[in-house]
Amino acid sequence: TRTTRPQRLLKAVQDRAIRGNPKSVISVIDHYCRNQEWAMNVGDEKGFILDSVVSELNPQTVLELGTYCGYSAVRIGRLLHSGARLLTLEFNPDYAAVAREVISWAGLENTVQLVEGASGDWIPRLREHFGIHTFDFIFLDHWKEGYLADIKLLEECRLLRKGTVLLADNVVCPGAPDYLEYVRKSPLYDSRYFKSHLEYTKAEDGLEKSVYLG
């Protein structure tokens, strides 16, 4: 049977990227998605904003919701200092299988841990299962209609602390209107919008950065 888009993206990485070199994995994926076939990675333009938020924060514990092919896990993982860890949740087993290979090709298997399953099932179990107290940084890039429920769940499970930074992809395209309204209205968050473009296109999109005030 035909290969899937994630499988073709993985083949491009294995054929063209240098093993153990996250920068080359990122540039191979961006070149492939811009020139061969589009895929829903955060991409280079929004990726640059993601890099600056992560570099400024220098987080020790990171949660990513929605791994897809592992592009943003590699983008974030490459910037983490020794001892820092990224936990990335992915619901779709086919995406997860490809992402594990991409993360391993980048040499980040000791920094990035991929967990398969639904965010709603895993979030309440992160503390007892992974010994996590709170997260310093959270990147939301999964079901757009799940963003709001999942940050409310993170609040309830006390996995946020004063200063935790949440960065949400696609708040314009495909859009997460209920999430935006909540973080912009709630006194619990200080929120700001970084205008950009949908990955590899000219369409508007952007990232919403929200600091939890606790």
142 binds ligand 75Z (CB under 6 A): yes
Residue whose structure tokens are 């709170």: 134
φ/ψ (deg, to 5) at 208: -105, 120
Q: Which member of 170, 205, 208, 209 is catalytic?
A: 170
Does the annotation count 169 as an active-site position? yes
Question: Nearer to Mg ion by C-beta: 118 or 132?
Answer: 118
Catalytic residue among 30, 64, 90, 141: 141
Choose which of 32, 91, 147, 189 interacts with ligand 75Z (CB under 6 A). 91
Applying CB under 6 A, among 30, 44, 136, 169 the residue interacting with ligand 75Z is: 169
* Residue in 199, 205, 208, 209 annotated catalytic: 199
Burial of 194 (0-12, 13-18, 19+ CB in 10 A): middle
- Least CB distance from residue 124 to ligand 75Z, whole Å? 13
Q: Could you say which of 44, 136, 144, 208 is catalytic?
A: 144
Among positions 93, 163, 174, 214, the unique one binding ligand 75Z when judged by CB under 6 A: 174
For 147-180, give the DSSP string: HHHHHHHHHHTT---TT-EEEES-IIIII-HHHH
Q: Say whether residue 175 binds ligand 75Z (CB under 6 A).
A: no
The Cα–Cα gap between 41 and 158 comes to: 29
Indicate if 150 belongs to the active site.
no
CA angle 89, 95, 98 (to 5 degrees): 110
Kindly indicate which of the ranges 11-19, 73-81, 126-134, 170-178 contains the residues binding ligand 75Z, using the contact rule CB under 6 A: 170-178
* CA distances in angstroms from 27 to 60, 129, 133, 211, listed in the order given: 25, 34, 34, 30
Catalytic residues: 141, 144, 169-170, 199
